[in-house]
Amino acid sequence: MPLFPFLSGRTSYEVFGPYGGIATTLVLPEAFDREKDDALAGQCMHARYDAANPPAYVNVLFHKLGRRFILEAQQLPIYETSSKYSGKVCIIQGRKDKIVPVSYAERYHQSYKDSELTIFEDEGHFLNGNKARLTDRIVTFLKENLA
């Protein structure tokens, strides 16, 4: 029996999750917005660089961020793209997120035509605290909007 029987036969849904963790639904990850802002400011995590003339690469944690990525991130049409989407959107954000501030989720909520914003006050970036509550929110959204 499928995990979500109410989705059986449906192909018009998307589910995203941080690094394969518990998923949020129908959301353009706010991380792309943060990446654009960071690329324009010349920073990524704790690395700093000249935004007008990025180096060939920047060391970020355990990987290298390339110049091409930085230059493309500076041009991403984040809100322009999301504002054109007319389907239902569920945005789930942790208030204690130190990587992507809640303001990004709020801005996406304003840009989408039909969105629901849920902010979990006691969650951080990975939404890995109360998994039952998160799963319930996702399943409720999917049942209400894909049934």
Domain count for the chain: 2
Question: Tell me, what's the pLDDT at 99?
Answer: 80
Domain that holds residue 97: 5-28+85-146
Domain boundary among 51, 73, 95: 73
First and final C-alpha spacing in the chain: 17
59, 100: one domain: no
Question: Tell me, what's the pLDDT at 94?
Answer: 93
Non-local CB neighbours of 99 within 8 Å, separated by 6+ positions: 31, 34, 125
Give the residues across from 63 on adjacent strands: 60
Residue 92's closest CA among 66, 68, 115, 74? 115
In whole angstroms, give the CA distance from residue 144 to residue 147. Answer: 6
- Please list the alpha-helical segments (H only) found in 3-147: 30-41, 67-73, 78-84, 102-111, 131-146
In whole angstroms, give the CA distance from residue 62 to residue 73. Answer: 20
Question: Tell me, what's the pLDDT at 51?
Answer: 93
> DSSP character for 43?
E
50, 118: one domain: no
Question: Tell me, what's the pLDDT at 65?
Answer: 83
99, 132: one domain: yes
54, 124: one domain: no
Residue 79: inside a domain, yes or no? no
Around Cβ 22, how many Cβ atoms within 10 Å?
16
Task: Per-residue pLDDT tens, the chain, 147 aa: give them.
Answer: 344 444 444 433 444 433 322 233 334 445 566 778 888 899 887 889 999 999 999 998 788 889 998 898 888 887 787 788 888 888 899 999 888 889 988 988 998 889 999 999 999 988 989 999 999 999 999 999 886
91, 57: one domain: no
Question: Tell me, what's the pLDDT at 61?
Answer: 79
63, 116: one domain: no
Question: Tell me, what's the pLDDT at 73?
Answer: 83
Residue 78: inside a domain, yes or no? no
51, 16: one domain: no
44, 14: one domain: no
pTM (2 decimals)? 0.66
